[in-house]
């Protein structure tokens, strides 16, 4: 679609892209140079086959291995946090109220602290990796609301997996019940956002039939056509 205010340019997510890629650049894997807003970094690669540009600043086509590894490590650790949270409560009560605690409570309570701290570190490293190396483009064939919904969900997930362990650590260091209270209050929002996120990932794969899930699950093949976007 032409942009009347800027002839020859069409809107991209956050700026404008040339209406038609320069023919010499329109081969798979080449990076078009000019997006007025993303001028500092190259915009996405022209994708093989349909010649369409993905409007993304990094030019990556997949996640870094580190990002994938940390994503799944965090998923497993959140599962672990859920399992041993009860012992953390026992440890917390023993520290703040002097209640008796056995070896299991002690070991699993400290496991909660170690795993939680790892989740915090992994989230920060993933954000750094994303900032330095970028992320793959959002599927250009999807309606734009799916991109915004996933952006909001990802923002919320990053927020919680950073703020929640930070509050836990603050409670631990200061002995302040208020921090512990807010720490535990974030558990339900985390579950809701994670549920929405998982539904989104499955919808990408089975309904929209994009390669989003395949990029995050090593060894998973991308779906082959027949999805909602093929009806358009
Ligand atoms: C993302 C990482 C973490 C998750 C998902 C998580 C999750 C939980 C959950 C589900 C509970 C129990 C809530 C309940 O049943 O009432 C809990 C309790 C607790 N967690 Fe974490 N936790 C994380 C990181 C940490 C860290 C790093 C610490 C640092 C010491 C910590 C300290 C505590 C404390 C002190 C409690 C007891 C609060 C109370 O009984 O009032 N947590 N956590
Ligand atoms: C509690 C568990 C989970 C958390 C906290 C979590 C967190 C995240 C975050 C923060 C991102 C955004 C990465 C970024 O934009 O930098 C992400 C991406 C992704 N996650 Fe999860 N995730 C969880 C579970 C899962 C599960 C179970 C699946 C698979 C069913 C999954 C599939 C994906 C996919 C496919 C992406 C890439 C999305 C895209 O390309 O836009 N996640 N995850």
Question: 42 and 142: one domain?
Answer: no
CB-based pocket (< 6 A), ligand 2: 71, 74-75, 78, 130, 135-136, 150, 154, 157-158, 161, 194, 197-198, 201-202, 212-213, 216
Backbone φ, ψ for residue 15 (5° rounding): 180, -145
Is 170 within a domain?
yes
Give the CA distances from residue 189 to residues 123, 182, 183, in Å, rounded to whole numbers and listed in that order. Answer: 17, 12, 11
Full DSSP string of 126-192: HHHHHHHH--PPPPTTS-HHHHHHHHHHHHHHHHHHHHHHHHHHHHHHH--HHHHHHHHHTHHHHHH
Report how many domains make up the chain. Answer: 2
Provide the pLDDT for residue 15: 42
Is 2 within a domain?
no
- Contact in structure between 183 and 161 (CB atoms under 8 Å): no
Provide the pLDDT for residue 60: 77
Give the number of other CB atoms < 10 A from CB of residue 165: 23
For residue 13, report the distance from its CA to the centre of ligand 2, in Å.
Answer: 21
pTM: 0.80
Assign 53 to helix, strand or coil.
Answer: strand
Ranking 30-44, 62-76, 94-108, 197-211 by mean pLDDT, the lowest is 30-44
Q: What whole-number distance in Å separates Cα of residue 220 and Cα of residue 213?
A: 8
More confident residue, 69 or 61: 69
- Contact in structure between 111 and 168 (CB atoms under 8 Å): no
For residue 213, report the distance from its CA to the centre of ligand 1, in Å.
Answer: 29
Is 1 within a domain?
no
Full DSSP string of 206-228: HTS--SHHHHHSTTPPPP-S-SG
Q: For residue 45, what are its two tokens?
A: 């690669």
| Confidence category of residue 13, pLDDT binned at 50, 70, 90 | very low
Question: 147 and 210: one domain?
Answer: yes
Overall average pLDDT of the 150-165 stretch: 98
Is 3 within a domain?
no
For residue 71, report the distance from its CA to the centre of ligand 2, in Å.
Answer: 7
- Terminal C-alpha separation, the chain: 16
Question: 88 and 36: one domain?
Answer: no
> Which-ligand-closest: CA of 161?
1
Overall average pLDDT of the 100-109 stretch: 94
Among 198, 205, 208, which residue's Cα sits nearest to residue 230?
Answer: 208
For residue 78, report the distance from its CA to the centre of ligand 1, in Å.
Answer: 11
Overall average pLDDT of the 185-195 stretch: 98
Is 112's C-beta closer than 6 angstroms to any atom of ligand 1?
yes
Question: 69 and 159: one domain?
Answer: yes
Domain that holds residue 25: 8-59
Overall average pLDDT of the 19-30 stretch: 42
Ranking 33-37, 150-154, 200-204, 217-221 by mean pLDDT, the lowest is 33-37
More confident residue, 114 or 56: 114
| Confidence category of residue 229, pLDDT binned at 50, 70, 90 | low
Contacts 24+ apart (CB under 8 A), 200-209: 200/146, 200/149, 200/150, 200/153, 204/139, 204/142, 204/146, 208/139, 208/141, 208/142, 208/146
For residue 101, report the distance from its CA to the centre of ligand 1, in Å.
Answer: 17
The protein residue with its alpha carbon nearest to ligand 2, atom 15, reads 154
| Confidence category of residue 14, pLDDT binned at 50, 70, 90 | very low
Is 55's pLDDT higher than 50? no
Percent of all residues in the chain with a pLDDT value above 70, rounded to a whole number: 71
CA angle 53, 57, 63 (to 5 degrees): 90
Of the three residues 59, 78, 102, the one that is the final residue of a domain is 59
């Amino acid at each position: 679609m032409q942009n009347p205010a800027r002839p020859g340019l069409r809107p991209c997510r956050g700026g404008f892209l040339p209406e038609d890629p320069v023919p010499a650049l329109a081969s798979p894997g080449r990076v078009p140079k000019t997006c007025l807003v993303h001028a500092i970094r190259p915009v996405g690669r022209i994708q093989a086959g349909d010649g369409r540009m993905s409007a993304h600043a990094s030019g990556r086509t997949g996640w870094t291995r580190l990002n994938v590894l940390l994503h799944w490590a965090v998923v497993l650790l959140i599962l672990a946090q859920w399992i041993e949270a009860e012992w953390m409560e026992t440890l917390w009560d023993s520290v703040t109220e002097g209640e008796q605690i056995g070896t299991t409570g002690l070991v699993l309570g400290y496991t909660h602290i170690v795993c939680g701290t790892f989740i915090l570190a992994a989230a920060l490293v993933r954000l750094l990796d994303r900032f330095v190396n970028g992320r793959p483009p959002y599927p250009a064939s999807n309606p734009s609301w799916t991109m915004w919904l996933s952006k909001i969900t990802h923002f919320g997930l990053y927020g919680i997996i950073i703020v929640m362990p930070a509050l836990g650590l603050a409670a631990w260091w200061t002995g302040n019940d208020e921090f512990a209270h807010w720490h535990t209050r974030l558990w339900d929002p985390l579950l809701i956002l994670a549920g929405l996120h998982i539904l989104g990932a499955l919808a990408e794969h089975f309904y929209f039939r994009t390669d989003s899930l395949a990029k995050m699950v090593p060894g998973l093949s991308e779906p082959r056509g027949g999805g909602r976007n093929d009806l358009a």
